[in-house]
Chain A
């Protein structure tokens, strides 16, 4: 009785927070009039007084509670004078040996350079027993830079913001008393994953290198693959709290300058605290924010990224993510594999046609099944129609319910299989298959023909290579299924027409999503099917590259024996 009383009470009564419940204060009220402590620490430059700097650094890096922030104070003996100094670095991100051997040792140990007592005479003249010496003016900063830091990458920095960026990226910062700037010494060294094989874009022939999480490793891999001095790698920072690095890569004398400028403009104008992956970054820079369609290719393959660069596209490498973004793209880029260019063009075209058919089947097969079996059954041969009708005779649900049950179950199994640990994933798959297949048919929940439909739909969805596009197709498939159930081919046609018009309206960095088919360019060289390797004379014209031709008119010059 008490349970029901409470249930009714909870249904009709407003929830009252108890006094001990935790409530977050409204941020707007709190921040309106109060100055945040971080604001006080911003936009400051290095002071000449080292004690002030140390105090500031302690506050800024919370060094009293941050266990991995290391500050080492010491004295430098220069020309018999002692200067206070300290270094700051993050343990685990910087190379300790390098700091010990090439920063602390030269600065702290006595050596010829810093014990030299005499004046540094540049020139000396004697006239009338009076000697006039020109002595080099002593500058401690130049002296440290030129004589005491045997490092290949040292910069002078005077903004605390820049110092903070350098420290968090693994550099060591040297503060010296009386100098109003610091020495930013490159000492990055942290554990990273070694270069491995592509897991999600495997190919049989071709390079087996995949990107890793480290930005510099990734850019170096691109540079190693693409031997051209015109390859530009420009660094940018994304995020205000997590200042993550990203690199914009393009080939200067191929990529369209406006395109490069637009990419940089968009990346420079993202006002977010953090952005953790390229997937997130893509959503910040895509043209049409409401669509579920991807507008940039994400690839983990170094050779694929390189080939896109050579076509005149821009590659965005993001620190901390083993995928890179490629822009601009068309929908047909999602149906390409790096394998295509490695094999004979006829074989590649066969694969491309199969992928195209898979694309259509995964999008429309369930909706066509429902439309044909409900409204247009005359399309089916009589024997097949009888077979379908008899197989459905024991199923108590309408076809739409049957399809939705199966599709949702399939999606659940797929999601569960992906998210659990890999040994468990297989188990989920097997259990799912048995439950979905045999048991569901035996229990007369679904008809056997529907199992075939859902299985084909599922398998064909794996033939669509890009996972982002696959997500779009999964969403659209549900819409088409409902439209097919509501109005048969009329519903599907209406859906396809609106879908097609939406696709026509999309752009990726100014390039039409359906180029070169909409707007139709009959003379285009970049059709869906591949030409032979020796006939790919032009780059995609919709990219408006600075170098439209990628091959000579006759690329196989060796065949022309007269030359």
Chain B
């Protein structure tokens, strides 16, 4: 079990991979649509909100050293709540993974494999994820760390390569659609940090519990930085009002990149790197779902769980009938699901757990004092 412990970088990149996958898909586009030319301010704003949220989260997690949200649920409401939390997390992660993979596969089909059947492409992703899950959780995390490094570099390259085409005037009007849209309704864009869900699950796997705060802060800052880079490159490259494309917004940026006259289109190379991101993301999701289900239902052999989760993800990808439904699931359903589960439900469980723990402690202290008084 000690072999499965994660160091700070590995844990940080587990959180970052989730944000990166969303960045590659439609996240920057969704923020641009929501906040217009104020997207950059909005990203900075929601990043600060998320950071504050995490600091509170860290405080609430403090009494539960080495425990994840599933363990806290058990503490709060016993086995039934543990099972409920597990089911909620499983459904949420399976749904999100399914929708994201379907969306990406659909895009791959549109760009490169026009004659292919999308579920077949999804099946390729899922098969690869199942194979690497059989190799082991820790190895997935190690591979993920290397992949995230490469992906982070590509995001910087995209931003740097498009610098000559940017028009900084597009940042005006600075408050976009208005203060209300940017700061009040725009606050809902904290869903961009859906990767925080791993911060609820990662604690038992950390090598050093003290590093939890560091992991959280670095991962949020890194995610925020890359979200900012992606949003800025899109905003400065394309007028936000004409960004009518519904799919793969960062891909649009890569198509604008030219490396001299020899290499006119390099977008396929970025797609190659992003395929790695999605494979890694899917593998991490499956391995974490396997972990929490194994723990909740006390299963010894993880292989059947891996297969079941993979089949369920495949099943989710078969639900949407067309591209519009996929986009709706990714931009609307995911947004509210992330807000409810990551920022409300889990937080509420943690808060109750914290209060219960401190209440118990207070009671114990009072009892101790009473005992001391009686002795005196």
Contact = CB atoms under 8 A, between A and B. Distances in A.
Whether A and B are associated in the same complex: the answer reads: yes
B136 interface: yes
A170 B283 CA distance: 59
A501 B265 contact: no
Interface string A473-515: 0000000000000011111111011101110110000001010
A493 B272 contact: yes
Contacts of B263: 379, 381
A523 to B, nearest CB: 11
Nearest to B128: A494
A379 B265 contact: yes
A514 B7 CA distance: 16
A496 B276 contact: yes
A493 B275 contact: yes
A381 B125 CA distance: 30
Given A489-B272, A505-B139, A381 B264 contact: yes
A330 to B, nearest CB: 13
A518 B146 contact: yes
A522 B136 CA distance: 23
A379 B266 CA distance: 6
Given A379-B269, A493-B279, A500-B143, A487 B124 contact: yes
A519 B7 contact: yes
B121 A490 contact: yes
B262 A497 contact: no
Contacts of B125: 494
B255 to A, nearest CB: 10
Interface in A240-272: none
Interface in A378-408: 378-379, 381-382
A514 B139 CA distance: 11
Contacts of A512: 142
Contacts of A496: 276
A518 B264 contact: no
Interface in A521-545: 522
B261 interface: yes
Contacts of B283: 497, 501
Contact of A501 (B108, B143, B262): B143
B34 interface: no
B130 to A, nearest CB: 10
Contact of B142 (A378, A491, A514): A514
B108 A504 contact: no
Given A489-B271, A490-B108, A381 B261 contact: yes
A158 B177 CA distance: 98
B319 interface: no
Q: Is the interface of B mostly helix, strand, loop or mixed?
A: helix
Contacts of B279: 493-494, 497
A40 interface: no
Counting chain B CB atoms within 10 Å of each CB, which of A382, A492, A514, A518 scores highest? A518
A246 B275 CA distance: 48
B372 interface: no
Contact of A376 (B121, B261, B262, B268): B268
Contacts of B143: 497, 500-501, 504, 518
Contact of B124 (A494, A502, A514, A518): A494
A517 interface: yes
A504 B139 contact: yes
A132 interface: no
Contacts of B10: 519-520
A500 B128 contact: no
Interface string B96-133: 00000000000010001100000001001101100110
Interface residues of A, number: 30
A504 B142 contact: yes
A517 B135 CA distance: 18
A382 B276 contact: no
A38 B140 CA distance: 52
B280 interface: yes
A500 B273 CA distance: 14
Interface in B262-305: 262-269, 271-272, 275-276, 279-280, 283
A24 B266 CA distance: 64
A74 interface: no
B9 interface: yes
Nearest to B148: A520
A332 interface: no
A308 interface: no
Contact of A505 (B112, B135, B271): B135
A377 to B, nearest CB: 9
Contacts of B135: 501-502, 504-505
A56 interface: no
B140 A501 contact: yes
Contacts of A372: 268
Contacts of B127: 494
B142 A518 contact: yes
Contacts of B253: none
Contact of A489 (B132, B262, B265, B275): B275
A375 interface: yes
B145 interface: yes
A382 B276 CA distance: 28
A41 to B, nearest CB: 48
Given A520-B9, A520-B145, A497 B265 contact: no
Contacts of A518: 142-143, 145-146
A505 B136 CA distance: 8
Contact of B265 (A378, A487, A517): A378
Interface in B15-57: none
Given A498-B128, A501-B139, A517 B146 contact: yes
Nearest to B267: A378
Contacts of B136: 505
Interface in B56-98: none
Contacts of B142: 501, 504, 512, 514, 518-520
Contact of A498 (B131, B262, B264, B275): B131
Which 7 pairs from chain A and chain B are nearest by CB? Answer: A493-B275, A518-B142, A376-B268, A504-B142, A504-B139, A505-B139, A501-B132
24 contacts: A378-B267, A378-B268, A379-B265, A381-B263, A487-B113, A489-B268, A489-B271, A489-B275, A490-B108, A493-B276, A493-B279, A494-B125, A494-B279, A497-B132, A497-B276, A498-B131, A500-B143, A504-B135, A504-B139, A514-B142, A517-B146, A518-B143, A520-B10, A520-B146
Interface of B: 7, 9-10, 108, 112-113, 121, 124-125, 127-128, 131-132, 135-136, 138-140, 142-143, 145-147, 261-269, 271-272, 275-276, 279-280, 283
Given A489-B275, A496-B276, A505-B139, 20 more contacts: A379-B263, A379-B265, A488-B112, A489-B112, A489-B271, A491-B124, A493-B275, A493-B279, A494-B275, A497-B147, A497-B279, A500-B147, A501-B135, A501-B142, A504-B135, A517-B146, A519-B7, A520-B7, A520-B9, A520-B142
